[in-house]
Amino acid sequence: MVCFCNKQIDIILLNFMSEKDYGAEQIKVLEGLSAVRKRPAMYIGGTGKKGLHHLVWEVLDNSIDEALAGYCTKIIVSVNIDGSVTVIDNGRGIPVDIHSVYKIPAVELVMTKLHAGGKFDNDTYKVSGGLHGVGVSVVNALAKWVEIEIKRDGKIHHQKYAVGEKVTDLKVIGDTDTTGTKLTFFPDAEIFDEIIFDKDVLIPRIKELAYLNKGLILEFEDKRDETKKTFCFDGGIESLVTDLNKTRHTLHDNPIYFETKDTDTNVEMEIALQYTDGYTESIISFVNNINTIEGGTHISGFKAALTKVTNSYIKKNKLLKDNVDLTGSDMREGLTGVVSLKIPEPQFEGQTKTKLGNADVKGIVESAVSAKLSEFYEENPTVIKVIVSKITSAAVARIAAQKARELVRRKSALESTTLPGKLADCSEKDASKCELFIVEGDSAGGSAKQGRVRDIQAILPIRGKILNVEKAAISKMIQSEEIRALITAIGSGISEQYNMEKARYHKVIIMTDADVDGAHISTLLMTFFFRYMPELVENGHLYLAMPPLYKIQKGKTAHYVYSDEEKAAKLLEVGEHGVSIQRYKGLGEMDPKQLWDTTMNPETRTLKQITIEDAIEADQTFSMLMGDLVEPRRKFIEENAKDVANLDI
Which residues belong to the active site? 440, 513, 515, 517
Q: What is the separation of C-alpha 350 from the centre of its chain, rounded to a whole number of angstroms? A: 15
Bridge partners (DSSP) of residue 282 are: 336
- Write the CA distances from 596 to 120, 146, 454, 510, 643, integer angstroms: 54, 48, 12, 15, 31
Q: Are strands 507-511 and 435-440 parallel, antiparallel or unpaired?
A: parallel
Listed in order, strand segments (DSSP E) in 292-434 are: 335-342, 348-349, 355-356
Beta sheet of 335-342, edge-to-edge order: 2-3, 256-262, 267-275, 335-342, 282-287, 290-291
- Cα–Cα distance between 31 and 115 in angstroms, integer? 6
Q: 289-328 b/e with 16+ CB inside 10 Å = b? A: bbbbbbbbbbbbbbbbbbbbbbbebbeeeebbeeeeebbe
- Write the CA distances from 182 to 72, 131, 147, 151, integer angstroms: 13, 20, 8, 8
Please check whether residue 375 is in contact with residue 4, taking contact to mean a CB–CB distance below 8 angstroms: yes
Question: Counting Cβ atoms within 10 Å, is residue 626 exposed (0-12), middle (13-18) or buried (19+)?
Answer: buried
Residue 614's φ and ψ, nearest 5 degrees, are -135, 100
Residue 332's φ and ψ, nearest 5 degrees, are -110, 0
Q: Which of 197, 187, 176, 105 is nearest to 141 (CA)?
A: 187
3-state helix, strand, coil in the chain (%, to 5): 40, 20, 40
**Those residues with Cβ within 8 angstroms of residue 549's Cβ, 6 or more apart along the chain or in another chain:** 514, 561, 562, 563, 564, 567, 583, 584, 646
Name residue 212's amino acid.
L
Count of Cβ atoms closer than 10 Å to residue 286 Cβ = 26
Q: Residues, the chain, total?
A: 649
- Cα–Cα distance between 207 and 513 in angstroms, integer? 35
Bridge partners (DSSP) of residue 269 are: 260, 341
